[in-house]
């Protein structure tokens, strides 16, 4: 029961991080948001390491490094996915795939077993993921094959992060997350530096890569994303007009995302990958609730239904 509750709490925290990342992406280029978030999250994990510890076992070090690259792959695929659209279909699809991939791994590869109640909870959870990931007001158009493939790839990469972290031993403590954040920081900072050098050579100035431009996507280092709040919205909902505020939002995104990683790690160490991944995929619920509280956005009826099903699924999976 405890791992399921922790996983559900982690999903809500993930959603909060996505919300902050989406707001930051209104002022900063998406890759800059991800880079700042990665560094801020790394600092949090570094601060927690002396208290939690962890053994530097070669296999766990390798898994930690690999998890960093899966997160980077998820971010790249999400950027490409958003550029194609439509968000109203591809966003829920990404979330569903991010749950299905580790669920199948847990059942088929790891040999995890569930009761009838557990399987019922999984089914309800997948429906809830679709409903809470729904974007009200978005124009619904038929997605292209390329968009669908990119969304499936992004969801698979996010699911791979959970699978990879689940392979680490209990003795490794926070070492896998330390390496995950280190790799994410190096990859995203390198990308920003390359963009800055290219901008400087073209005469636009290195700082020109910082402000938001092109497709906006607030993404966390582990590949989750808030598609809705990175998009164009009425001016009254903007929380910061300057780069400084956007940088602070991006840093807050990283800290909150790292906290969600810690909850997810605890849930995986104490419970089954199948259950944890299903509940973690409900991260859009945290975004919805925070948007309602902070921005006073209305929660659509379909999203209320998704939230209710999420709680139902959480209760069933806690009893599985």
| pLDDT tens digits along 137-195 | 656 667 788 888 888 898 899 999 999 999 999 999 999 999 999 999 999 999 889 88
The answer for residues whose C-beta is within 8 angstroms of residue 174's C-beta and 6 or more apart is: 45, 48, 49, 52, 53, 54, 262, 265
Residue 219 per-residue DSSP state: E
Closest Cα to residue 256, out of 19, 70, 62, 74? 19
pLDDT at 314 over 90: no
- Among the residue ranges 12-21, 67-76, 134-143, 147-156, the one predicted with the least confidence is 134-143
Rounded to whole angstroms, how far apart are CA atoms 124 and 63? 31
Q: Which residues pair with 225 in a beta bridge?
A: 219
Give residue 180's region: left, alpha or beta (phi > 0; psi -120 to 50).
alpha
Question: How far is it, in rounded angstroms, from Cα 247 to Cα 101?
Answer: 33
d(CA 51, CA 15): 26
**What are the tens digits of pLDDT across the range 94-120?**
888 888 889 989 888 888 888 888 888
What digits encode the pLDDT tens for the residues 258-268?
999 999 999 99
Domain ranges of the chain: 2-319
Percentage of the chain beyond pLDDT 90 is: 28
Q: Which pLDDT score, from 0 to 100, does residue 27 have? A: 82
CB proximity list for 285: less than 8 A, separation 6 or greater: 11, 12, 15, 132, 306, 307, 310
Q: On the CB side of 76, how many CA atoms lie within 13 Å of its CA?
A: 12
Task: Report which of residues 303 and 36 the model is more confident about.
Answer: 36
CA-to-CA separations, 206 to 30, 96, 192, 209, in angstroms, rounded:
16, 38, 10, 6
pLDDT at position 96 is 86
Decide: residue 164, CB within 10 A, 0-12 exposed, 13-18 middle, 19+ buried.
buried
């Amino acid at each position: 029961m405890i791992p399921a509750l922790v996983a559900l709490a982690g999903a809500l925290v993930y959603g909060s991080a996505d919300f902050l990342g989406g707001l930051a992406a209104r002022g900063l280029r998406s890759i800059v948001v991800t880079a700042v978030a990665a560094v801020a999250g790394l600092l949090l994990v570094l601060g927690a390491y002396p208290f939690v510890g962890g053994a530097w076992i070669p296999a766990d070090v390798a898994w930690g490094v690999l998890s960093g690259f899966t997160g980077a792959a998820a971010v790249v695929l999400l950027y490409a996915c958003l550029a194609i659209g439509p968000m109203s279909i591809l966003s829920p699809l990404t979330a569903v795939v991010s749950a299905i991939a580790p669920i199948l791994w847990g059942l088929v590869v790891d040999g995890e077993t569930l009761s009838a109640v557990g399987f019922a909870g999984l089914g309800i959870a997948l429906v809830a993921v679709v409903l809470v990931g729904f974007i009200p007001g978005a124009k619904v158009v038929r997605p292209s094959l390329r968009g669908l493939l990119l969304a499936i790839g992004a969801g698979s990469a996010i699911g791979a992060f959970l699978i990879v972290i689940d392979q680490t031993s209990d003795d490794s403590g926070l070492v896998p997350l330390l390496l995950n954040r280190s790799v994410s920081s190096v990859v995203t900072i390198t990308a920003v530096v390359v963009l800055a050098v290219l901008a400087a050579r073209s005469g636009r100035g290195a700082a020109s890569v910082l402000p938001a431009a092109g497709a906006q996507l607030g993404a966390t280092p582990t590949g989750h994303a808030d598609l809705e709040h990175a998009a164009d919205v009425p001016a009254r909902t903007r929380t910061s007009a300057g780069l400084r505020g956007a940088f602070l939002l991006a840093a807050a995104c990283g800290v909150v995302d790292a906290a969600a990683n810690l909850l997810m790690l605890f849930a995986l160490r104490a419970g089954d990958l199948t259950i944890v991944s299903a509940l973690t995929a409900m991260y859009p619920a945290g975004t919805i609730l925070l948007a309602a509280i902070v921005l006073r956005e209305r929660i659509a009826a379909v999203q209320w239904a998704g939230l209710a099903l999420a709680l139902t699924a959480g209760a069933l999976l806690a009893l599985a």
